[in-house]
Structure 1
Amino acid sequence: MTFAGKQAIVTGAGSGIGAALCRALAAAGAEVLCTDVDAAAAEATARGIDARAAHLDVTDAAAVQGAVDDVVACAGRLDLMFNNAGISWGGDTELLTLDQWNAIIDINIRGVVHGVAAAYPQMIRQGGGHIVNTASMAGLTAAGLVTSYVMTKHAVVGLSQALRSEAAAHGVGVLAVCPGAVETPILDKGAIGGFVGRNYYLGARGMAKAYDADRLAQDTLRAVERNKAILVRPRSAHGAWLFARLAPGLMGRMATRFVAQQRAGQQTGAVGADSG
């Protein structure tokens, strides 16, 4: 795939990975609709790349369908659907309220489902396209204190892999993006209790610093060009994924030890970045 003239929608485009994807797509010549629940943030992203912006709450299936219909009405097709919007909660699972469980399910799982339900039939009708779902290394491995996030990202990976096996017959590609810690606002949001997200996510992936969002966006476009099934970045995250597949029992014990270290650090106010 080349991106010049392609029609793309990016959800969660107001910041982080979403904004970086919009910049990379525009630089590659795509026509981008930047969407976000924060309309002002989406507009700021769009202004920087001379693109269109729209308010979009991905939990509203009709609104997601409307965004797809709008692009198709204007351009005649939709080539790329980036289901990127997401949130995270971090802290002991027993502290999560049902409202918080429902919020992360609605955004991280149903938001992706709504994007697929709106875009995939259109791509079948036109004979091609590509769906890109932002998951996480949390969708390939698992450790506590981000249990609800892990659950949702495993769902996104499973959806992506299963859909890919169907979509190939229609000329539609599906990619699950599974990065380690990326330098985005999500690292510093969603804390419950004494949870320190930045330290947790970096420590869980053995990373000295978070991966650059613009670099991940470029990696993502290359993965789309090559029709890859899963993208894992950076190299340390790829190593952790391989280790988890080869030695799941040992990985589980290391995850238990890592969670204990994080809890101890929260209690002392000195959470470290031990890998595990």
Structure 2
Amino acid sequence: MSSVVPQSRSGHRVLVTGGASGLGLALVRAYCARGARVLAVDLADERPTAVPDAAVYRRLDVRAQQDWDAALAWVREEWGGLDLLYNNAGVATGGRIDVESMADWERVIDVNLLGVVRGCQTFTPLLKEQGSGHIVNTASLAGLIHGPGMSSYNATKAGVVALSETLHFELLPFGIRVSVVCPAFFRTNLHQSFQGKDEEFEQSGTRLITTAKLSADDIAARVVKGVEAGKHIILTDRLGRTSYWTKRLARPVYDRAASRGAHRIAARAEKAAQR
């Protein structure tokens, strides 16, 4: 049985899904700056110009097992192993339960939840062979705090949190660490992946993302620090920490806040219906 030890900042072999934009791109930049060998994967067939020259780029659709198998084969052949797997790719979704379609549910589950499952399942045998490695799954504060009007997104991110906790214990005897990242809103292009029917909710979500104080680079720096510290749950901002501990330690306060949010959503929806 291998012991789990902190990894050095340089010399990492790092794979980041969703690595051409948003938090994924910020993580790619952060690790390239640390001298790591980085494989950025995303949906574009050709290398996006935003990806740093120091990183390798490959196309990978997290919904396609054949793409995962190809990435594993590349990592084995080119690097002989992997130190950090960032299951980061995801899409934004949300809407009221009676408005959002089943097609929207199926899409977000396939990307946000099963995309992470595929990554973990594909690379765990390699990490077990090594007796080392670190899996970092990007969830969201929505995986811990389940506000109204976001049932599909909340469900997938809560699933990522549950998966990560399960694997944290399951893989520990093999020398493999698992962390889950749970940021609140930060400035990124995530809102561009909204495709649902609940336009009223999506407009609110877009405002929260585009007006957030923290950038993707801010979040990436905090994620890297949390990973290097060996944290299992990485809360990247004050809102996340406050909300998380309020729910755990002051549940009536949390319930009142969530209820007020639900009434605001209902009032906006009624107003929109009257236009």
TM surpasses 0.5: yes
**Aligned-residue offset at 1:209:** 2.5
1:43 aligns with 2:48: yes
1:157 aligns with 2:172: no
Partner of 2:226: 223
- The residue correspondences of 1:1-276 to structure 2 (distance < 5 A) are 1-40=7-46, 43-46=48-51, 48-190=52-194, 192-197=197-202, 199-200=204-205, 209-265=212-268, 268=271
**Aligned-residue offset at 1:85:** 0.6
**Aligned-residue offset at 1:202:** 7.2
Residue by residue over 1:23-69, the C-alpha shift from the partner in whole angstroms, topping out at 9 and shown as x without a partner, is 001111111111111334x53233x2421111111011221122122
**Aligned-residue offset at 1:198:** 6.6
Residue by residue over 1:131-153, the C-alpha shift from the partner in whole angstroms, topping out at 9 and shown as x without a partner, is 00000000011012111000000
The 1:208–1:245 alpha-carbon spacing in structure 2 relative to 1, beyond 3 Å, is farther
2:101 and 2:197 in contact (8 A); partners too? no
- Partner SS state of residue 13, structure 1: coil
1:34 and 1:43 in contact (8 A); partners too? no
Partner of 2:4: none
More deviation, 107-116/207-216: 207-216
More relative contact order, 1 or 2 (CA 8 Å, 6+ apart): 2
2:89 and 2:111 in contact (8 A); partners too? yes
Partner of 2:3: none
- Partner SS state of residue 146, structure 2: coil
Letter aligned with residue 116 of structure 1: C
Cα distance between partner residues in 2 of 1:59 and 1:208: 30
The 1:164–1:61 alpha-carbon spacing in structure 2 relative to 1, beyond 3 Å, is same
**Aligned-residue offset at 1:127:** 1.3
Question: What is the aligned-residue RMSD (CA, Å)?
Answer: 2.2
Q: Point out where structure 2 has 5 or more consecutive residues left out of the alignment.
A: 1-6
Q: Point out where structure 1 has 5 or more consecutive residues left out of the alignment.
A: 270-276
User: What percentage of aligned pairs have identical amino acids?
Assistant: 32
**Aligned-residue offset at 1:267:** 5.3
**Aligned-residue offset at 1:188:** 4.9
1:22 and 1:32 in contact (8 A); partners too? yes
Q: Matched residue pairs, number?
A: 265
More deviation, 148-157/65-74: 65-74
Cα distance between partner residues in 2 of 1:116 and 1:4: 23
1:181 and 1:201 in contact (8 A); partners too? no
The 1:201–1:167 alpha-carbon spacing in structure 2 relative to 1, beyond 3 Å, is farther
Taking structure 1 as the reference length, the TM-score comes to 0.88
- Partner SS state of residue 186, structure 2: coil
Letter aligned with residue 43 of structure 1: P
Cα distance between partner residues in 1 of 2:98 and 2:74: 42
**Aligned-residue offset at 1:257:** 1.7
2:100 and 2:198 in contact (8 A); partners too? no
